[in-house]
Amino acid sequence: MVSHEYKLGVEQSPSTNWFQRIGLRFDPYIHLEASSDPHLAEYTVNLDIFNAAWNTEPTVIFAPPGGGKTATRVAVTRICWFDIGGAYPFPLPYNLGIAPLTGAPPTSAHHLRLLLESGTCALLTGMAFRPERLLRASAADIRAIASLLRTALPGSLDYYLAVLRETGTPAGLTPLLERTYALTAPPPPEVLHHFCDVVAAAGTDVITDSPEELFHLFVDLATSALGFSHVLILIDGIDAVYESQTGAHPALQWVSYLLDHAARWSTLNVFIKLFAPNTTEPSITGYLQSRAIPAQSARITWTADLLVELLRKRIFAASDGRFESLDAISSPALSDVERQIVDAIKPLPRDALQVTRRALLQHATRREEEQLNEDDIRQAIAWYQLRMAPR
């Protein structure tokens, strides 16, 4: 009897058992959107761009769609919460895609409200993964943090604490509040319950200050009470904003307020990091120059060697270090698999992941051979070239 997993069409995903049978604990190529990949931290490639995304200068980081903007943002976010030691910045992820589609860019008040909502979502989720950050703070600071959470979270703080208690893991919050905060090494359930008790006991006060005053309070609590060195506003999602599809100028209108405040926020120890599509570079660069905004520009650049490293790190992580390349599960006639794939595509991570996974999907449809072969690679590349062909 033929097993169901061998009847899969190429468009379908192999079963978990299929990946386990070939020596992988998960599919390392399935997540084309970095923010949904729980294993991203295990195979991040050390791009030079990390310095620009981490430092204390306002920065605009350009890359084409599929070029690693979100992956870089998510990697920076997770590194910032690696542990509670050292001078790490606080990563405030601000996805412009959450702004209401009213047909007009957010006003300054809207931006501040969205920043506060995004910041408190990230703060509660991060502290649930790293409760020591809160538990070492003074009682007065804990009360202030709890009040800020009650004021700016999109829902009831008590509800989110109930979710943490019921699930026993901070991962229960990530789909509700901030999915990029899927951190490793969560605390034991008893520590998480203690964290919930401390936050709940801190009072039910709500702050009535203006959005600007609340934002300043947020920054102060992050950099003093919680010990972060500075705040990074990691701005993403211009690609998803429907106005940006009509050209670079409408996209610029969505971020002009943020760029205008770059210098002022720097004095508060807050630094914007705008991840923007390369099509917006002339417009944004011209805007920075015309207003003498002190922001640097950087580009995410992928070489063939870096893409090969990206693919090999994924197979290494998925195999728990047993395989350094897809060569390990390939026929003897096939070698340097990752290099063959990279040499046939545009130098973009998303394209590399798509073609590599396509080869594995092709392999999964065959019963007669347990190894990846040359035909799998050829068909995956042909599929890619057909998709890229002008219509």
pLDDT at 83: 60
Output phi, psi for 201, to 5 deg: -75, -5
Q: What residues form DSSP beta bridges with 308?
A: none
Cβ pair 30, 357 in contact under 8 A: yes
Dist CA 184 CA 120 (whole Å): 20
- Where does 15-155 show beta strands of DSSP type E? 59-63, 90-95
Helix (H, G, I), strand (E, B) or coil at 203: coil
The total of other beta-carbon atoms located within 10 Å of residue 282's CB is 10
Cβ pair 41, 278 in contact under 8 A: no
Cβ pair 167, 223 in contact under 8 A: no
H-helix or E-strand containing 143? helix 139-152
The total of other beta-carbon atoms located within 10 Å of residue 133's CB is 23
pLDDT at 5: 36
Dist CA 219 CA 340 (whole Å): 48
Q: Is 266 exposed, middle or buried (0-12, 13-18, 19+ CB in 10 A)?
A: middle
Dist CA 221 CA 342 (whole Å): 46
Helix (H, G, I), strand (E, B) or coil at 321: coil
- Domain coordinates of the chain in residue numbers? 4-32+303-386, 48-299
Residues in the chain, pLDDT under 50: 1-10, 391
pLDDT at 169: 95
Structure tokens at 264: 């002022």
Nearest to 236 by CA among 39, 49, 40, 74: 74
pLDDT at 78: 82
Residue 303: half-sphere exposure toward Cβ, Cα within 13 Å: 7
In this structure, what DSSP letter does residue 221 have?
I
Structure tokens at 376: 């799998």
